[in-house]
């Protein structure tokens, strides 16, 4: 026992000096230090280029990717042109059914553009992990990327919607007033942007999921709620009193109401107008359609901001 106690190191003994590092170990340590410094710089969002330069380069990249993607350009344009001609030719009728056909067309176009936004869910869900990795590696920041994507996506969608409106509006036989056509195009474009933004937000929110079904299910649920509360399928008078406020939470309600007011006016001179007012109960105010358009514009801005916040949160969580 005494021998074992003598052989055991004393707790008061001096601390042994660490062995000297070889050249390779010293090099590895230096690399680790350099990497740690780089990570700290990246965590501080200190990029080699300014935000404006990043946005310019990313806009150019997005334009090239869009031009080289046949699905995003030619196929979408062809589908929209085909749907516009088909819708205009099928619903174009005469006589007593003219009012009903125009009402059906207004509701159907809301459904068309809401359904055409489904690909945006999977596109953003698949692309967000790459964006998160590139932001984490210090290639660019999240804000310039999202601004570049918006600069490319919004004009392209506006052009496609303009083509759709230019074909459908005159084939169906809507109001011949140029001002009514301008409002029609603005309302449909705003609603299309809103649907695309909500779809992108769903894709970004579920970017961590390997399957696309959760994001698609959430967007489908939002779409179903908006359509049911849009005032077309369920009359407001038939809804319970305590649920009637939910109608005003549906974006479809605002675009549908605005388009009805734009097409048929706010007066009650004809039987058709009185029937429409009794069924859909839209506002009897001359400025109501512009209020609806303003609500849609605010919803578009809020949905775009929500998508950016979700994307920013994903990049910060990765860092």
Query: Can you give the pLDDT at residue 276?
Result: 64
State the number of CA atoms in the 13 A half-sphere of 290 facing the CB: 4
How many Å apart are CA 113 and CA 40, to the nearest integer?
44
Query: Can you give the pLDDT at residue 33?
Result: 37
Query: Can you give the pLDDT at residue 29?
Result: 39
Range with the poorest average pLDDT among 91-100, 119-128, 234-243: 91-100
- pLDDT band of 275, cuts 50, 70, 90: low
State the number of CA atoms in the 13 A half-sphere of 36 facing the CB: 6
What length does the chain have? 319
pTM of structure = 0.77
pLDDT tens readout for residues 69-112: 776 677 878 888 888 888 777 776 554 456 666 777 777 877 88
Closest CA to 174 of 282, 279, 82, 101: 101
Query: Can you give the pLDDT at residue 195?
Result: 93
Alpha-carbon 298 to chain mean position? 14
Q: Which helix (H) or strand (E) holds 118?
A: helix 118-136
Helix (H, G, I), strand (E, B) or coil at 211: coil
Torsion over CA: 162, 165, 171, 175 (sign): negative
Higher pLDDT, 9 or 179: 179
């Amino acid at each position: 026992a005494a021998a074992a106690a003598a052989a055991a190191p004393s707790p008061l003994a001096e601390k042994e000096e660490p062995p000297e590092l070889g050249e390779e170990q010293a090099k590895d340590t230096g690399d680790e230090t350099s990497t740690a410094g780089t990570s700290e710089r990246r965590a501080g969002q200190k990029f080699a280029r300014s935000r404006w330069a990043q946005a310019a380069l990313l806009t150019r990249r997005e334009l090239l990717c869009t031009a080289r993607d046949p699905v995003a350009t030619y196929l979408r344009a062809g589908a929209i042109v085909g749907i516009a001609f088909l819708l205009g030719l099928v619903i174009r009728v005469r006589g007593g059914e003219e009012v009903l056909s125009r009402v059906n067309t207004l509701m159907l176009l809301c459904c068309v553009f809401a359904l055409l936004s489904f690909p945006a869910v999977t596109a953003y869900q698949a692309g967000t992990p790459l964006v998160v990795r590139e932001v984490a590696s210090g290639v660019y920041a999240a804000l310039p990327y999202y601004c570049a994507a918006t600069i490319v996506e919004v004009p392209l969608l506006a052009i496609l919607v303009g083509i759709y409106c230019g074909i459908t509006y005159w084939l169906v036989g809507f109001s011949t007033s140029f001002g009514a056509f301008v409002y029609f195009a603005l309302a449909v474009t705003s609603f299309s942007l809103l649907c695309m933004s909500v779809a992108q937000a769903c894709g970004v929110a579920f970017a961590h999921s390997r399957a696309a079904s959760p994001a698609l299910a959430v967007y489908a649920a939002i779409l179903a709620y908006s359509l049911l509360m849009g005032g077309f399928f369920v009359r407001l008078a038939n809804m319970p009193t305590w649920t009637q406020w939910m109608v005003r939470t549906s974006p479809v309600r605002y675009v549908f109401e605005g388009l009805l007011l734009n097409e048929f006016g706010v007066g009650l001179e004809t039987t058709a107008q009185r029937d429409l007012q009794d069924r859909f109960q839209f506002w009897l105010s001359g400025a109501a359609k512009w209020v609806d358009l303003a609500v849609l514009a605010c919803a578009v801005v809020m949905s775009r901001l929500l998508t950016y916040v979700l994307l920013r949160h994903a990049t910060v969580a990765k860092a």
